[in-house]
Each structure stands twice: as C-alpha cells, then as structure tokens.
Amino acid sequence: MRDRPKPVSRRPASKKATPKRPAPRQEAADALTKHLGHRVRQLRAERNWSLEVLAGASGVSRSMLSQIEREETNPTLAVTMRIAQAFAITIGDLVETPDASSSVMVIRADDRTFHYRSDKYCRIRTLSPLNLEKDVEFYEVLLQPHGELRSLAHYKGTREFLTVQQGKVRVESDADSETLNPGDSASYRADVPHAIVNVGKGEAVVFLVDIYN
C-alpha cells in the first residue's frame, strides 16, 4: 500500500497495523517455488517414480527433491535443468504455468496474502491486485456490531466509494455523516478524517474503493 497518512486507532485498531507485504519480486519467486513443487510431484506421480528413482535419473539428492516438492526451497537453474532432463522435457515445460498468459487474474477467498486485517471487530480483505495499490484499492470490509474503521486524512484529492451489502453503517467524512442500508452507496472525501461505523445489530458487510489523484 502506498505510504500515506496513518489512520487513527480506536476500536478496532486502524489500518496502520498492516503487516508489510512481500515485494513483487518475492511474491513472484514464491509463486514459482510453489508451482515447481507441484509440477515435480505431478510429473513424478504420472511416471510412478519414487523420489529415489528421480534422484538417480537427475543426479539431484533425494533430500533436495523432497524440499522442492514441499515448496521449501527455490532450486538453482542447474538443479532445475537436471530435473527437466530427467523427465525428458525442457526447463520451459517444467516451469511453465498453465495460466501464465491468461488475461483473467483470480483472487481466491482463502488466499491469506490478500487478508489485509482481521481482528475481533473488523476484517478487511483486499479484492484488487496488489500492484494496483498506488492508484486504486478495492476492499471487502466486515464490521461486527459496534465495530468501526476510522482513518486520518489520506492524500489530497483521495475519495472513497462505498456500497453496503449487508447491515447498517454510518459513513463519516469530516463533519458530515450519512446512514446507509443494504444496497445503498456513497462517495465521500477521504482527504479529511473519515470513518465507517456499524450502527446495526448484526454484522455489516461493505465494499470499499479508494481512488487516489
């Protein structure tokens, strides 16, 4: 997320407690490690090979192969080449992801990378790709009864757009406020102190978009 003024914290704690996300390069490396582990397991299972058989065919130790399959290590190019040669395929075929060229990016509900914050009163899940967070941010926000999300002013010109899916919330922007019910939407200045407060008796679910100038 861009370096912007920190939100104040009442109940629940504000966005300033956000854990630092991995850098894009690290995310890409982690994705490759995960994919390679899956591919090696898949190819070995298709051939009904044990780890010992693959170790003998590739010259890579059984312990290293086991770490790769458990997604615990990112092997060197030389090790990856030996594994590909053992399966009689190219490195490209070994590391290629089926959806690498897909124009559709999916964020799965259980992907913890996108769980922005979760506590007793509030859960925030990022619904937009992480690389867009310098321009636009899209969130699903769940607020328990009496829960609230308060923020200090963001950068000048920032606006928030909110739609209520469930429950009843009060939106505050500086000295102004409005109460919203399911299906209601609101847009408001976010370059002033602002808040989303659950004023209903049950859980509130809202979708929130931040747009920066």
Tens digit of each residue's pLDDT (9 = 90 or more) over 92-110: 778 765 544 456 777 778 7
More confident residue, 164 or 91: 164
Does 115 fall in a domain? yes
Residue-level pLDDT at 16: 46
Top-confidence range, 5-14, 24-33, 158-167: 158-167
Residue of higher predicted confidence among 6 and 178: 178
Instruction: Identify which of 3, 30, 38 has the alpha carbon closest to the alpha carbon of residue 18.
Output: 3
pLDDT bucket at 75, cuts 50 / 70 / 90: confident
The confidence band for 131, taking pLDDT boundaries of 50, 70 and 90, is: low
Asked whether residue 207 falls in the same domain as residue 126, the answer is yes
pLDDT given for residue 148 in this prediction: 94
Final residue before a domain boundary, out of 60, 95, 130: 95
- Binned at pLDDT 50, 70 and 90, residue 35 comes out as confident
Clarify whether residues 61 and 110 are in a common domain. no
Q: Is 112 domain-assigned? A: yes
Decide if pLDDT at 28 tops 70.
no
> What are 51-63's pLDDT values in tens digits?
999 999 999 999 9
Last residue of a domain, one of 53, 73, 95: 95
DSSP state for residue 114 in the 8-state scheme: G
Asked which of 66, 95, 124 is the last residue of a domain, the reply is 95
Q: Tokens 């950068």 appear where?
A: 155
Are both 88 and 38 inside the same structural domain? yes
Q: Do 123 and 90 fall within a single domain?
A: no
The span from the CA of 124 to the CA of 205, in Å, is: 10
Which one-letter DSSP state was computed for residue 112? G
Residue-wise burial string across 115-131, b where 16 or more C-beta atoms lie within 10 A, e elsewhere: ebbeeebbbbbbebeee
Q: State whether residue 43 is helix, strand or coil.
A: helix
Separation of alpha carbons 116 and 122, rounded Å: 10
* pTM exceeds cut of 0.75: no
Domain range spanning residue 111?
105-211
**Buried b vs exposed e over 85-102: b needs ≥16 C-beta within 10 Å?**
ebbeeeeeebeeeeeeee
Closest CA to 27 of 129, 102, 138, 139: 129
The answer as to whether 3 is a domain residue is no
The DSSP bridge partners found for residue 188 are: 160
List of E strands, the chain: 115-118, 122-126, 136-143, 148-151, 159-166, 169-173, 176-180, 185-189, 194-198, 204-211
Q: What is the pLDDT of residues 113-130, one digit of tens each?
A: 778 777 888 999 988 876
The count of structural domains within the chain is: 2
Residue 9: what are its φ and ψ, rounded to 5°? -125, 125
Residue 167 and residue 46: Cα distance in Å, rounded? 50
- For residue 137, the domain's CATH number is 2.60.120.10
pLDDT of residue 207: 97
Query: Would you say residue 47 lies in a domain?
Result: yes
Quick one: 201 and 111 in the same domain?
Answer: yes
